[in-house]
């Protein structure tokens, strides 16, 4: 997948442990909010409903007793790359991520320019 470069060690670890799908759903559910990860999420917990039992269990297994704050800009860049790779239009991506259309196109252009510059290194 041609995803955005990850700048946070936490994000890299979340993707490694939860997988890309799990990380995508976690970011969609919690944005940049603060999340306390208990030993086990109770049945019906909002996060279990949002990301499913498997992702919630993985969070508990690896981060129980920890407060997590998901870097929202990293998640948005990741989600933008993911949605673009799925073939969504810029307008559809903007609606899905609740960002401006111009941010989508500027970020996609910057990502494309960064890949191009590596060709000439």
pLDDT tens, residue by residue, 21-55: 999 999 999 988 899 999 999 989 999 999 999 99
Task: List own/partner pairs for 60-65 with CB under 8 A and 24 or more apart.
Answer: 62/13, 62/17, 63/37, 64/37, 64/38, 64/39, 64/40, 65/37, 65/38, 65/39
Distance of CA 93 to the CA centre of its chain: 14
Reported as a single tens digit per residue, the pLDDT across 2-27 is 444 556 888 999 999 999 999 999 99
Asked if 30 and 47 count as a contact pair (C-beta separation under 8 A), the reply is yes
Reported as a single tens digit per residue, the pLDDT across 60-88 is 999 999 999 988 889 999 999 999 999 99
Domains of the chain, by residue range, sit at 9-70, 74-119
Residue linked to tokens 């790779």: 85
> How much is the pTM?
0.80
């Amino acid at each position: 997948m041609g995803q955005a470069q990850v700048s946070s060690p936490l994000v890299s670890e979340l993707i490694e442990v939860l997988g890309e799908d799990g990380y995508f759903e976690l970011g969609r559910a919690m944005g940049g909010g603060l999340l306390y990860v208990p030993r086990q999420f109770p049945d019906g917990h909002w996060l279990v409903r949002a990301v499913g039992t498997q992702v919630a269990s993985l969070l508990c297994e690896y981060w129980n007793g920890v407060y997590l704050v998901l870097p929202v800009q990293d998640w948005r860049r990741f989600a933008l790359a993911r949605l673009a790779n799925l073939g969504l239009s810029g307008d559809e991506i903007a609606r899905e991520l609740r960002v401006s259309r111009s941010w989508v196109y500027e970020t996609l252009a910057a990502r494309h320019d960064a890949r191009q510059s590596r060709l000439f290194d």
